[in-house]
Structure 1
């Protein structure tokens, strides 16, 4: 159906206003008018408006207070925003909500991160066992970061856990960046792991059940994904209902309070029906779901053979599989190198990676490619050159993410083929003060450090910004992009800063465009979804160092306020969280 243009719609409603003696007929009048605001539309001109009219979940007019209020009927809800600044709802193009939903923390799990001895760890297990019915899994979603933080300088074993958990399987995961899990004897028994059990094997994945050198028995230390997959399935770590509720909790507590109205989740397992079904059930709830979601299909490029990946791509001929106003599935996530410890080989072999990239491109998919090493950057660029030569496509909008070491040739390839750079600038805060020296290992290929955003911008490559895992919060990301300040206060490569307008676009209209949704999202313009965020301070006129301290007062999705901050004080403390632990930092 053809949409009325901004001018056509405005003239039409104004004509009705005049012909009807100064009032618009109720059926044609907007449902809601927001006025007395500073509305940063993020349109092509980055124009500022005072008011906006909304009907049926869409913006129907944007303009001055007098122009928009004239369109209101008696039953139109008129909301005075008292001069507050409004931005389009944020589009976070890379955030792990579903993947972390199964890791929803609890107080004892968060304490488990900080233990300094096996004795303390076992005591937390004892406390949790005491409130868990016999036979049920006792699970900690966080664990110590390294064995060295424990007095004993070793990981606990099942023999440490068994005395306090005689009737419950125990699982402690997300230890050492999730490389290590710990279970007790009942956990191993549930997985069928015993003396002389073969070590797990999946192509491209490392995994082993650690063996006690004295007894020859598995000791409960589980390393690597291949072994963890066995334990996860055996212990039924979380049910479909728990996954659904944990996603809802994560969105309620850590997505919409930060102004996010759409996010892309890049770690949905290949054709992962449980995750997709969980989202579909959430969106079918009577009360609705307060955010729009773009799920990616993660190809199992490291865990399956080349042939199996090619067969999977061919079996999922691009449709896209699912696309609605609230849930989209239409992008392949392809990880070409190790995303966390425990996977072997570190880099997907070039020939395998190239074949998979070319076939996915051939079949019409948008590709979202995880790249953290120079080797994968180079061969991914070569594969894209070959893919476009063999199978020309217009406007494919493939995306490379995490890319930190571009050569001029890489940049030229991305520019020529229209490949987008998706970068996570929130990591600057955590960099050590000697990071510049650490990132100069190869003079022939200068490593600009994490996310050299201005380098890509200056090369004419579209840049989107996203949260990844730590922390979730576009205003924090915008602050980091324009300041690039470390915890110490030292600036990391100031020449790579973005302007404020560039950073705002990188969290709104550019990711919407990157995922082919700029006709309905990313800016406050007539015909687009009524998704917006009301800020506690004026982001355009304030000191950029204060941007991370701007509170979100309201988040609107589809014309409804899905989040209203119970504290409307513009000077309130804003808390950001490390995810999935959801532990605050910047204190």
Structure 2
């Protein structure tokens, strides 16, 4: 079998026994070894490939919390505050005012059938000072064509009067349908349970958008360009159609990444959900890895739907919104843990963290399970005492470091205030306590770019250049580990990916500069290429 040895200026392996090298040998899609060519030649004839001789090689980046929606939301209109590039690389200019939002909607409202909804996404009114985004702003665009705008966090939607009528929101008495002073739906709909009547009425569900091969391929290509070789879809419906699409897309030899979907637990009865995941395991192969279960407890801090402990929000409502009663999450944790499955749990606010830690504590007491690797996701406001519980329980964290840049300025003055902003995304504290953690982007909430995420974790700078939490900065070395081996550990895939050592898949990211020695900000380092199983997949 052919042995190919890729030479490089430097190789960072993430293997503590051999941290660096200048040559990585690949055979049969796996790492044969890192070492001098003459040592590799002991295995047989070696073909030297020096195309990366002036580059730096690192393990393929692992994005441990992202969504295949990144490949489908771009079918709809982007209304975000920040400039973004779609999967094909087209730049969409961010919108800085409510008037600009109205204008972009107005430019597209006459396109398509007036009976079909106009769907947009990415909007985050928290940037618009005290401006109100509700049905009135959308009615000014159209009162007859249904308009649905999905919040950047994916936890809130804004709808116009036509949508309110079609979905019958006036007659629904449920948490999450925000009402004005007259008791009428304001056009703001919070969290998933309240969104579903809208989805049902319009025969459209944005969360089902990733259940097709085109979306999955667009998602994979967007990740590949940023050096990612393993991605997640951390809220997959795992319907029959979704599984077919996942299998079909990843079966293609040129599919450039490994894909790890997680069951959306709230969409399933726990018994049926665990059976679905167990059945899906038989479809696992090198580029597709079933086995995860995702629970979403609360919302997002920036739209005031995360569940916070005292003193609550700095301004705005007293507290956020549960996606189900806390007892439901307690029962789900018990069930999926006892079933032997691997849970990833969305916990933005510190109250949500407590609910899940209490449930895990009880589950592990009743059914001890070494190396369970249940992972709390986001943990934006996790406290020091909660981190100590995480360490004691043997759980992992996946920290939303990008959040500091995109919403840190907002948290400082609107949602949390100075003191709690210092502990946002506390990666350094997790590291000090020996907790295994990854860091992530949560695409499409923020763009896929592990190097940008690593930059956020090392600098903790907001969009306005304010540093939040100097004591929670981590080193470049720890950040590189968090986007490779740390994230792989949280997915229970560190035996196959995350480092360059014999037997693991030869998944490699090729960088223009050395992230551990250059003065160039991490977010500005170019991704030259990615290799999956030792095969180049195209430029960055």
What's the TM-score once normalised by structure 2's chain length? 0.80
Matched, 1:80 2:41: no
The structure 2 residue matched to 1:332, chosen from 284, 293, 313, is: 293
Q: Structure 1 residues 390 and 193, CA, compared in 2 at 3 Å: closer, same or farther? A: closer
Aligned residue for 1:481, secondary structure, equals: helix
Could you tell me which residue of structure 2 aligns to residue 560 of structure 1?
535
Between 219-228 and 78-87, the greater mean CA deviation after superposition: 219-228
Distance 2:109 2:351 in 1: 47
Distance 2:394 2:130 in 1: 49
Could you tell me which residue of structure 2 aligns to residue 4 of structure 1?
none
Distance apart, 1:458 and its partner CA: 1.1
Distance 1:438 1:151 in 2: 16
Q: Name structure 2 gaps, 5 residues minimum.
A: 81-91, 307-319
Alignment of 1:454-533 (within 5 A): 454-468=428-442, 469-533=445-509
Q: What CA deviation, in whole Å up to 9, does each residue of 1:387-414 have, x standing for no partner? A: 1111111211111122245555433332
The structure 2 residue matched to 1:365, chosen from 333, 341, 344, is: 341
Distance 1:447 1:157 in 2: 32
Conserved 8 A contact 1:90-1:261:
yes
Alignment of 1:40-189 (within 5 A): 40-45=12-17, 47-68=19-40, 73=45, 76=47, 78-96=49-67, 98-104=68-74, 114=95, 124-125=104-105, 127-132=107-112, 137-143=117-123, 145=125, 155-156=135-136, 160-162=140-142, 169-175=145-151, 179-183=156-160, 185=162
Distance 1:368 1:400 in 2: 6
Q: CA RMSD in A?
A: 3.9
Distance 1:376 1:427 in 2: 18
Conserved 8 A contact 1:533-1:554:
yes
Q: Structure 1 residues 242 and 123, CA, compared in 2 at 3 Å: closer, same or farther? A: farther
Distance 1:380 1:296 in 2: 18
The structure 2 residue matched to 1:540, chosen from 502, 516, 521, is: 516
Conserved 8 A contact 1:146-1:176:
no
Distance apart, 1:115 and its partner CA: 7.7
Distance 1:370 1:219 in 2: 28
Number of residue pairs matched?
506
Between 313-322 and 458-467, the greater mean CA deviation after superposition: 313-322
Distance apart, 1:418 and its partner CA: 1.2
The structure 2 residue matched to 1:452, chosen from 406, 426, 444, is: 426
Could you tell me which residue of structure 1 aligns to residue 215 of structure 2?
246
Distance apart, 1:298 and its partner CA: 2.1
Q: Structure 1 residues 45 and 485, CA, compared in 2 at 3 Å: closer, same or farther? A: farther
Distance 1:105 1:131 in 2: 13
Conserved 8 A contact 2:127-2:410:
no
Q: Name structure 1 gaps, 5 residues minimum.
A: 1-27, 566-587
Could you tell me which residue of structure 2 aligns to residue 578 of structure 1?
none
Distance 2:417 2:12 in 1: 40
Q: Structure 1 residues 142 and 68, CA, compared in 2 at 3 Å: closer, same or farther? A: same
Distance 2:337 2:136 in 1: 46
Distance 1:211 1:406 in 2: 33
Q: Structure 1 residues 71 and 312, CA, compared in 2 at 3 Å: closer, same or farther? A: closer
Conserved 8 A contact 2:95-2:101:
no
Between 310-319 and 490-499, the greater mean CA deviation after superposition: 310-319
List structure 1 runs of 4+ shifted beyond 6 angstroms.
69-72, 110-113, 146-153, 210-213, 238-242
Matched, 1:298 2:264: yes
Q: Structure 1 residues 220 and 77, CA, compared in 2 at 3 Å: closer, same or farther? A: farther
Conserved 8 A contact 1:95-1:467:
yes
What's the TM-score once normalised by structure 1's chain length? 0.74
Distance apart, 1:263 and its partner CA: 1.5
Alignment of 1:197-208 (within 5 A): 198-199=171-172, 201=174, 206-207=176-177
Larger Rg: 1
Conserved 8 A contact 1:147-1:153:
no
Conserved 8 A contact 1:114-1:144:
no
Q: What CA deviation, in whole Å up to 9, does each residue of 1:560-584 have, x standing for no partner? A: 222314xxxxxxxxxxxxxxxxxxx
Matched, 1:221 2:187: yes
Q: What CA deviation, in whole Å up to 9, does each residue of 1:481-501 have, x standing for no partner? A: 222233344432222222222
